[in-house]
Amino acid sequence: MSIEIVSPWRQSGLARFIAAAEVGAGEYFNPVVPEELAEKLRQLSR
């Protein structure tokens, strides 16, 4: 099971700021589009 929470104000090309919850928990999120990352990984494996 996975949960994806995306801010409606998050747009491509905007600077991303680390949230207080990320700093406090020591867990940092990488906002990527899974399909785009999968394609990049496929290209690297060729």
Domain ranges of the chain: 17-46
Q: Give me the phi and psi of 30, to 5 degrees please.
A: -110, 105
Residues in the chain, overall count: 46
CB-CB neighbours of 45 under 10 Å: 6
Per residue in 15-34, pLDDT tens? 667 778 888 888 877 778 88
- Is 16 in contact with 31 (CB distance < 8 Å)? yes
- The proportion of the chain whose per-residue pLDDT surpasses 70, expressed as a percent, equals 72
- pLDDT mean over 4-19: 68
Give 33 or 38, the one with higher predicted confidence: 38
Average pLDDT of the chain, as a whole number: 79
Say what the pTM is. Answer: 0.40
